[in-house]
Structure 1
Amino acid sequence: MSLDIPFASEPLIYLKRQLKRVPAAVRLARLCKAAVRRAPCYAMRIVGTVLYPVLGDRGPLRGYHDSTSDYLRGGCGQYVALTQHADAMVPPDPFQPNLFVAVVPGARVLSESGAVIAPDHRLLADVSWAGDKAASQPWAHPALRKFELPPIQHVGGRVAIINSIQAGNYYHWMFDILPRLGLLQQSGLTADRYIISATTGFQRDTLKLLGLPDDRLSVPDAGTHIRADELVIPSLSGPVFSLSPQQHACAYLRSAFLQKGRYREPHRAIYITRGDATHRRVINEAEICDDVAALGFEVVSLSGVSFSRQVEMFAEAKIIVGPHGAGFTNAVFCDPGTVLIEFMPTGRVVDCFERLARIGRLTYHSLVCAEIDTDGRPVTNDHVVDRSALRDLIARYV
């Protein structure tokens, strides 16, 4: 005969369940977890403070400032606050940063992502982004875990930091990075040089259209550590890497790249293919292309198409159909009323282009599609489109 006593058979599980019923124990557990996560940052902060007199600006950082405005309260720079008009149709973002442009004499830029270090050897957290949700907390920034920083390059004059994470991704380039130039323009401040990526075709194309010559650009990389006489710091344009386009960013992109009087009235029906991609492909795309071509659609791959041509294509479109991908970024150039039909694989449901459609007053539809993979596991987000559902949806507008 045996007794079924939970504490005897599973003592740790039983104890954990009992402790969860005690509010004080729950709070203590959370504090302990937070302390463990933050321990490396705290340790490096102590090391950085101790070694700063010896290693100077190449040693470990001495911690961080939560915001640039907090740092500038000491009167060691200039701060221009900017405003973003709210739109009732567009849900607000949590953790929306304040919009501003700051000028900080002697500040430095570290790495390709454009982390900003104040002259007191502390990270300016609100304008430094590491690239994922886990690292969005200031204490988790990789720069705070570096024991030795790269050699410092001094750049004279007034230098603007524009770069951020994922500069090589078209979506993030357009919505996270270029709008910082718009904030700089809005502030009325100027710069002699710009720290910004200029390696891909679309980066060079857009910067040329914006009138930024190569000889005024500093292209950052992993070893970048630049000190400027004066560092001009536009705020991040929104919650970076959150797939959440902002109204001010959309307004800037339209004003910067849409050429008045150049485009015909919206008349084009366009299907965007991702046939040359490695993921998020339409498995039955041959049939889909036949269906939409019969309805008068152009079937277009955006790979290799110049930036100006893409702007023109979307500015003249009355309906755009295709799988979720960075190409839909160009919907920012569509006229109000343009129809977007986006294929959304079940394993990747995001609302960035639905939000973009709300900002631009476009008509948006998401067609959720079943994922298919060679071994039966949805790892590439390749998917099959319901041809009948797509035809019915298109028939409303064509």
Structure 2
Amino acid sequence: MPLEYYSKTKEWISKCGFNDYYKVIYPRQTLTLPAPKGLDPPRWSQKCHFDEAFVATIPNGRLMTSCSYPVTPDNKRLLDVEYNCPYTETTLPAHEYYAKTVASVLWGWNLPHLNFDKQSSTQNVYGHWFFDILPRFHLLERRGIPIDYYVIGKLHYPFQYESLKTLNIPMDKLIEVSKPDFHIQARMLVVPAVPFNLGKCPPWTSEYIGNGFKLNRKIHKKMEYERIYVSREDASARFVINEEEVMQLLTKKGFKKIVTSPMTMEEKVDIFSSARVVIAPFGSANINVAFCEPGATFIELAPNTINDNYFWKISCHANVDYYELLCDVEQPPKAHSGVDNIVVDLAKLERYLQMIKI
């Protein structure tokens, strides 16, 4: 395992002197997005900075470990396209050589050897899959280099297979990684930028995901889903403690409760494209707001122990009106704030409904 690294891929480009190994696909940009609406003061700046999205080509580059760290020919890691994970291994077996062009779309924690939970991989988290993994295929498409193989983590869920099929990603070109001592070298390694590292949900990711799933098939509108509440009743964390009372209020207002995890991608796209108002607790399912039509409204039930603007950005990029409703959490709080369960103030929720004229 190399300990030396370049903080930015551009540093390696500057050292090796081959500028054609680095192609900017989307330039750096700064956007001022609409402030969150609601009764609570905004918790983040409206000004969002996004670094340039690039694709790097590395002759005789290597990929190491199940997280697939890209390594340059001078044996240094590239920190801006990896997610540093707690590996105990310091040595790896000799690499397997591919006399081909290999692209890596794997990013994040991919640590199946630490436990047997499928969530030990970033790409098995619904939100990260759609906004940090799949958009890397888009950057590769824009770069235009013919790819022989794509390195990706082990696939587990229907949404992964369904989305790859929808986006016309050839399954026979996937190299699925699960073993911790993964180690290959490619004649040409192609590494696209990581959306999360560029500023979390750059606008081009939303356009790619939204258009990719809405334009590739006929949308079937469902009038009964114009007002939906997205439940996390099947989740192990961040579910609404008083959901029964919440639904008693929302049912009177014409809302329909849905649970997204058992649904196919086509069902999710149809339902969220039909929705005019979406209410949901903070969680990965909220990336489906990217499929809403412009002018829809999204009220996010946000635990006050988490400050995350991810779904606000997605809403803004989709031209969806975003409201943040801050909620208390179940007491005592969890050891990790990211898993706190939510308690919704019903009077406050009713005021939000009045604000959107419901």
CA–CA distance in structure 2, aligned partners of residues 278 and 194 of structure 1? 32
CA–CA distance in structure 1, aligned partners of residues 67 and 241 of structure 2? 35
CA–CA distance in structure 2, aligned partners of residues 215 and 245 of structure 1? 29
Higher alpha-carbon Rg: 1
Give the counterpart letter for 1:234 in structure 2.
Answer: P
Counterpart in 1 of 2:291? 333
CA–CA distance in structure 1, aligned partners of residues 126 and 191 of structure 2? 22
Give the counterpart letter for 1:70 in structure 2.
Answer: E
Counterpart in 2 of 1:200? 157
Which structure 2 residues correspond to residues 299-378 of structure 1 after superposition, within 5 A?
299-373=257-331, 376-378=332-334
1:64 and 2:20 aligned: no
CA–CA distance in structure 1, aligned partners of residues 68 and 296 of structure 2? 36
Q: Give 2:343's match in structure 1, choosing from 370, 375, 384.
A: 384
Counterpart in 2 of 1:171? 127
Identity of aligned residues (%): 26
TM-score (norm. length: structure 1): 0.75
Q: How far did residue 271 of structure 1 move?
A: 0.5
Counterpart of 1:282 in 2: which secondary structure? coil
- For residues 349 and 70 of structure 1, do their structure 2 counterparts lie closer, same or farther at Cα, with a shift above 3 Å needed? closer
Counterpart in 2 of 1:252? 208
Q: How far did residue 150 of structure 1 move?
A: 3.4
Give the counterpart letter for 2:67 in structure 1.
Answer: S
Q: CA RMSD in A?
A: 2.4
Which has the larger displacement, 121-130 or 322-331? 121-130
Q: How far did residue 307 of structure 1 move?
A: 1.7
Counterpart in 2 of 1:4? none
8 Å CA contact retained: 2:30, 2:48: no
8 Å CA contact retained: 1:107, 1:116: yes
Which whole-Å deviations, capped at 9, do the CAs of 1:108-163 have from their partners, x for residues lacking one?
A: 111232310011211122222226xxxxxxxxxx57x8531234122231111011
Give the counterpart letter for 2:150 in structure 1.
Answer: Y
Which structure 2 residues correspond to residues 141-156 of structure 1 after superposition, within 5 A?
146-156=89-99
Counterpart in 1 of 2:250? 292
Which whole-Å deviations, capped at 9, do the CAs of 1:278-319 have from their partners, x for residues lacking one?
A: 221211111211221222211101121112211221111100
- For residues 62 and 275 of structure 1, do their structure 2 counterparts lie closer, same or farther at Cα, with a shift above 3 Å needed? closer
Give the counterpart letter for 1:105 in structure 2.
Answer: P
Which structure 2 residues correspond to residues 129-144 of structure 1 after superposition, within 5 A?
129-130=83-84
Counterpart of 2:103 in 1: which secondary structure? strand
CA–CA distance in structure 1, aligned partners of residues 177 and 214 of structure 2? 28
Counterpart in 2 of 1:80? 23
8 Å CA contact retained: 1:114, 1:162: no
CA–CA distance in structure 1, aligned partners of residues 89 and 207 of structure 2? 38
Counterpart in 2 of 1:10? none
Bigger relative contact order (CA 8 A; separation at least 6): 2
Which structure 2 residues correspond to residues 203-222 of structure 1 after superposition, within 5 A?
203-221=160-178, 222=180
- For residues 179 and 308 of structure 1, do their structure 2 counterparts lie closer, same or farther at Cα, with a shift above 3 Å needed? same
Q: Give 2:78's match in structure 1, choosing from 124, 131, 137.
A: 124
Counterpart in 1 of 2:41? none
CA–CA distance in structure 2, aligned partners of residues 353 and 324 of structure 1? 8
Q: Give 2:69's match in structure 1, choosing from 105, 115, 137.
A: 115
Counterpart of 2:107 in 1: which secondary structure? coil
Q: Give 2:33's match in structure 1, choosing from 71, 80, 89.
A: 89
- For residues 357 and 363 of structure 1, do their structure 2 counterparts lie closer, same or farther at Cα, with a shift above 3 Å needed? same
Structure number with the higher helix fraction is 1
Q: How far did residue 352 of structure 1 move?
A: 1.5
Q: How far did residue 97 of structure 1 move?
A: 3.9
Counterpart of 2:124 in 1: which secondary structure? coil
Give the counterpart letter for 2:347 in structure 1.
Answer: S
1:264 and 2:205 aligned: no
Q: How far did residue 344 of structure 1 move?
A: 1.3
- Structure 1 gap ranges (5+): 1-59, 132-141
Which whole-Å deviations, capped at 9, do the CAs of 1:206-235 have from their partners, x for residues lacking one?
A: 112122232210012222111111111111
Counterpart of 1:87 in 2: which secondary structure? strand
Which has the larger displacement, 69-78 or 190-199? 69-78
CA–CA distance in structure 1, aligned partners of residues 3 and 315 of structure 2? 43
Counterpart in 1 of 2:119? none
How many corresponding residue pairs?
323
8 Å CA contact retained: 1:112, 1:164: no
Counterpart of 1:322 in 2: which secondary structure? strand
Q: How far did residue 378 of structure 1 move?
A: 4.7
Which whole-Å deviations, capped at 9, do the CAs of 1:28-69 have from their partners, x for residues lacking one?
A: xxxxxxxxxxxxxxxxxxxxxxxxxxxxxxxx4261123323
Structure number with the higher strand fraction is 2
Which structure 2 residues correspond to residues 181-196 of structure 1 after superposition, within 5 A?
181-196=137-152
Give the counterpart letter for 1:109 in structure 2.
Answer: L
CA–CA distance in structure 2, aligned partners of residues 194 and 224 of structure 1? 14
CA–CA distance in structure 1, aligned partners of residues 164 and 233 of structure 2? 28
